[in-house]
Amino acid sequence: MTAEILAVGTELLMGQISNTNAQYLSKRLNDLGINVYFHSVVGDNAARLKESLKTALGRSDMVITTGGLGPTQDDLTKETIAETMGLKLVQNEEIYQGIKNFFERINRQMLENNIKQAYIPEGAMVIPNNNGTAPGCIIEKDGKTVVMLPGPPKEMVPMFEETVFPYLEKRTGQTIGSKMLKVFGIGESEMEMKIIDIIGAQSNPTIAPYVNMGEVTVRVTARCRDADEAERMINPVIEKIRERLGTCLYSVNGESLEEVVVKLIIEKNISISVAESCTGGMLASKLVNVPGVSKVFSQGFITYSNDAKIDLLGVSPETLKTFGAVSRKTAMEMLRGLIRRTGTRAGIAITGIAGPDNAADPVPCGPAICTGHSRKSGKPAGLVYIAVYLDGKTECVELMLNGDRERVRHMSCLNALNILRKMILSTEEK
């Protein structure tokens, strides 16, 4: 079966909104094995909509439209499609009641033009809308199918999931199951190299990698008859991928790195505290965004200046003078001061240069910084030291991160969380 997506709305052509509906629907149709060959967008204009619809019906088995189902004069998708397909519009009692109830629920007056929304093409199946007044509908005629959905994603998505997806599953005799694998500590291309043969050998389940702000995601999607079969098909593939990626694979349920780490430390009852310089509270903020973290997280210190590092964490002024605030030694002293002060089982200290400018931070004699940056010009933006403590053991890493200020800080936090996660897992293995 081939399908295409036809979005209706002048606001899309004005660039006021992006056609995210097309992406969503394409993904889901592909999940079902339905080929999508075209997307198109047309404004709130009957003649151009009619032309686009005719073109679409001429070349595809199914056309899914989004938008133009509202109560105003501008909304003409239903009228135009009914006319193009030679169908009359008839009032549907069920929809009429639904709209009436909707207005009662939100305690507002139903308007004259909402009654227009209770009309659908004769013989069409209704797609109920529990989040708005515009119902959708499905028309089957002359071997072609037209599915009409409203434009707002908040209404469109639930309507597609609750009514259209099951309808299409029945028609294609298939369902899909999918799991979202999350990966950290390995680049997208390196990961692809490691699993490219698994990706190539698979057509069902399919394996699709994505990347976003330093976090790599792999979606494993199976086309099958039911959820049990999906599990049986997906799990062996995940295990194969895990063999290759090891602990870089940190979640098979789409969780964020901070969710996984917070879950882990709550489970193991590991109290934690943080001391942040260049990340300036971002790491603590990520931890705090996970509900339940109060069981293990009590306090954090943002020591942005040298004085704060000395006063709050007991970093030695001599260290700062000789090695600079952005140095392995300072990170280690921040960490030691933090643990001395809080007595938590785990601790993280971060110091670095978020940029955009390089820092005049002193460069000691000794091992050069990995970029080969010259001594004279100080330390480069993106240089970060992360020290992590867990039950008496300490690790400290030096990173050269690229990107803008926000990305350097974000990646510093993710790396810190990942180091702690690996330390906890390696303790477990023993």
Q: Which is nearer to a second copy, 129 or 303 (CB)?
A: 303
How near is the Cβ of 55 to a second copy at its closest, in Å?
A: 7
Residue 429 neighbours by CB under 8 Å, 6+ apart: none
Q: Which is nearer to a second copy, 15 or 372 (CB)?
A: 15
Q: Which of 272, 248, 240, 293 is nearest to 422 (CA)?
A: 248
Q: Which is nearer to a second copy, 40 or 235 (CB)?
A: 40
How near is the Cβ of 290 to a second copy at its closest, in Å?
A: 9
Q: For 161, which DSSP code?
A: I
Tokens representing residue 105 in the block: 């629920």
299 residue type, one letter: Q
Q: Is 376 helix (H, G, I), strand (E, B) or coil?
A: coil
Do 138 and 62 touch, CB atoms closer than 8 A?
no
Burial class from Cβ neighbours inside 10 Å (0-12, 13-18, 19+) for residue 397 reads: middle
How near is the Cβ of 339 to a second copy at its closest, in Å?
A: 15
Q: Which is nearer to a second copy, 92 or 279 (CB)?
A: 279
Q: Which is nearer to a second copy, 280 or 362 (CB)?
A: 280
How near is the Cβ of 49 to a second copy at its closest, in Å?
A: 11
Residue 67 neighbours by CB under 8 Å, 6+ apart: 7, 8, 9, 12, 21, 77, 150, 151
Residue holding tokens 């994603």?
Answer: 153
- Alpha-carbon distances, residue 319 vs 266, 309, 331, 374, 387 (angstroms): 35, 11, 10, 21, 16
Do 71 and 133 touch, CB atoms closer than 8 A?
yes
Q: How far apart are CA 343 and CA 276, in angstroms?
A: 17
How near is the Cβ of 300 to a second copy at its closest, in Å?
A: 3
- Alpha-carbon distances, residue 107 vs 20, 94, 102 (angstroms): 31, 20, 8
How near is the Cβ of 118 to a second copy at its closest, in Å?
A: 25
Do 390 and 270 touch, CB atoms closer than 8 A?
yes
Tokens representing residue 188 in the block: 């997208």
Q: Which is nearer to a second copy, 92 or 221 (CB)?
A: 221
Q: Which is nearer to a second copy, 100 or 263 (CB)?
A: 263
Q: Which residues bind a second copy (CB under 8 A)?
A: 7, 12-20, 22-30, 36-43, 45, 48, 52, 55, 208, 210, 274, 276, 278-285, 287-289, 291, 293-294, 297-305, 307-308, 311-312, 354-357, 405-406, 409
How near is the Cβ of 29 to a second copy at its closest, in Å?
A: 8
Cβ neighbours around 91 below 10 Å, total: 11
Element (H, E) at 61: none
How near is the Cβ of 126 to a second copy at its closest, in Å?
A: 26
Q: Which is nearer to a second copy, 41 or 89 (CB)?
A: 41
Q: For 339, which DSSP code?
A: H
Q: Which is nearer to a second copy, 31 or 118 (CB)?
A: 31
How near is the Cβ of 191 to a second copy at its closest, in Å?
A: 16
Q: Which is nearer to a second copy, 324 or 355 (CB)?
A: 355
392 Ramachandran zone, left/alpha/beta (phi>0; psi -120 to 50): left
How near is the Cβ of 79 to a second copy at its closest, in Å?
A: 20
Q: How far apart are CA 278 and CA 257, in angstroms?
A: 20
